[in-house]
Chain A
Amino acid sequence: GAVVSQHPSRVICKSGTSVKIECRSLDFQATTMFWYRQFPKKSLMLMATSNEGSKATYEQGVEKDKFLINHASLTLSTLTVTSAHPEDSSFYICSARTGRDNSPLHFGNGTRLTVT
């Protein structure tokens, strides 16, 4: 149980274009999903918390206009990287939890974004 699916697993795009990443909870409803970014050999950095039906909460230093988050249903959150630049190249991972107070986060398999 508690499967999180993320798509695509890899994407290459040109500078200036936008890329959308989808995160789905397959067997549970997730009122809250989380988007992380991970650099090679580094820790996971929380970018934003996505709440179903309301605006996302962004961490300090994360540009909300560049990283657009939409959580339109209890099973789907999307992250759109707008006007991508090479420095946006990274590994993006979403996660979700089932809602019980201290239930663990379950992660998707990540999206490797390369901006050329």
Chain B
Amino acid sequence: EDQVTQSPEALRLQEGESSSLNCSYTVSGLRGLFWYRQDPGKGPEFLFTLYSAGEEKEKERLKATLTKKESFLHITAPKPEDSATYLCAVRNLMDSSYKLIFGSGTRLLVRP
């Protein structure tokens, strides 16, 4: 069964304190791994798609990396506006219906 586990559940950082969020996944074949940001009371906002091990993508203070078993979202010198829940999702290679399997997310709080 496809599964996504995110850790930690919650993370508190001081402004400027870099860290990483983890997304471990189990899937028979990976078609894509997706990172989203979700603010309270809002829908998820798309950040990145990663397709194969070794791939990296960057956007401002965020960098996403992918291995065969997990993905990391690195946050460099975070600011308070980076506070949000970060969601990871995978799509199975055999999936034709575009069903994404989501993790429970990491709630990030960046204090000034």
Contact = CB atoms under 8 A, between A and B. Distances in A.
A57 B97 contact: yes
A45 to B, nearest CB: 8
Top 5 closest A-B pairs, CB basis? A107-B43, A43-B102, A104-B46, A43-B104, A44-B102
Q: Chain B interface secondary structure, helix, strand, loop or mixed?
A: strand
Q: Chain A interface secondary structure, helix, strand, loop or mixed?
A: strand
B34 interface: yes
A49 to B, nearest CB: 6
A112 interface: yes
Interface string A1-43: 0001010000000000000000000000000101000000111
Interface residues of B, number: 25
Contact of A105 (B31, B100, B105): B100
A105 B100 CA distance: 9
Contacts of A93: 43-44
Given A43-B103, A43-B104, A102 B51 contact: yes
A80 interface: no
Interface of B: 4, 31-32, 34, 36, 41-46, 49, 51, 87, 89, 91, 97-100, 102-105, 107
Nearest to B34: A104
A104 B105 CA distance: 18
Contact of B104 (A34, A42, A102): A42
Given A44-B44, A107-B44, A107-B45, A34 B102 contact: no
A74 to B, nearest CB: 16
A84 B4 CA distance: 31
